[in-house]
Structure 1
């Protein structure tokens, strides 16, 4: 077994000598073209707590978004991800006075589970767990280059029909028409998350989590109990469906040799839509 992370993760990311596409492994987001903020820079204020673990009554981090985790480091309320509105998740950071064992430090600890990249029967590489994962557990990030809208659009337009599109676009609505958009592309620089396949009935859910930076980390949590050796999947659309229907593509876009193409979904779920999600808002 080979460690794909080459020691960069606390727990090795294993595979059995697979032919992996060339990319640079990095556990965290990195600043890409057009991104005005370095995700590794500490830009959020810290709390002044001096206790071993913070409490909502006195911790400024917890007061910003409310408690997010149980004492067992599991996401407190998975139902928040299914509602129209949810509170943001702010973890304690490098400027906080609390200890490293604070219960509000989960995603920042990185990968803690034994995962394996394997060859699926019909969807290329995938990721499976080598241990049981309880519901609500943090699994891994979807990390890569954080790029601007213009760069994400340029990259997607330059892709051929045969290439995989790894770009994830996350839109966060803060009320009063305020929308924060984050574009993460792990094609060239990324972590184990880039190998996760889509499913119309996934066992992971993506939650934006802020730790040291205003740039969110795209954290994936178990949406149910997951068995050993079960493949890990998430919904590429975020459970919100497509931003625009496939029919909204112009004739020119649909006919361009290098234009966006609907790709069939092979997840095998009972509710499978037949096609992978395609976010056309990047191309608008």
Structure 2
């Protein structure tokens, strides 16, 4: 299991918490709630106050079926929010698939590029990230939101996602990105059916064997709402799955995730601390048993 530190990112000795600021009118979980610049900036600062280690700012919805926004509109949405938060000392990441947005965002103060396409949507992205030197989240991705559900076909999702991520890592390394910059994301909900998401969560240990820190983004995803459906089969609303997100956070952190990406920060910040204490106690117990075996 990797313990590699990610350059430029906080290193508190536990799973990090990334809080989400969607500067969009149509994101799946909170579309429009933070669309106003001042509101988005205030929300980002509130997330830090609740315990976020990183604030992830995005200007383009990646919900299933979403249409893409123009480059100009995405820049208009995210640049002032990133700049303002960075000036307040916040560790900011930019959630974008466009190299030009990533470049502007890093100039504005972003310390990490979170690319849900893993460099596939914009071939220039890996070269831009390599030039900036900031960490790069390479997510497993099979296509844009408009048709990604049709690509959710796997014989063994953990094996296939791991292999496809390995190929993406090789590709971005060839473009100049360094090993130390790379963070991996299995892409829960992106070309994945519920059973695929659960298998990937159960396979976190195997995914960390790829040798890079792992970020998990399960917060308010549809598979949680479907799990919690009522007796008539109606899924829980997105905000109604926050408690289930907490459970995933604790289990993912316990399994070795480097970071969790969440909408509701405070309780998840508590959950990663519980997981860290549990992991520490488990290691201590294992060490004690080894000592006793040598006596």
Q: TM-score, normalised by structure 2?
A: 0.25
Higher strand proportion = 1
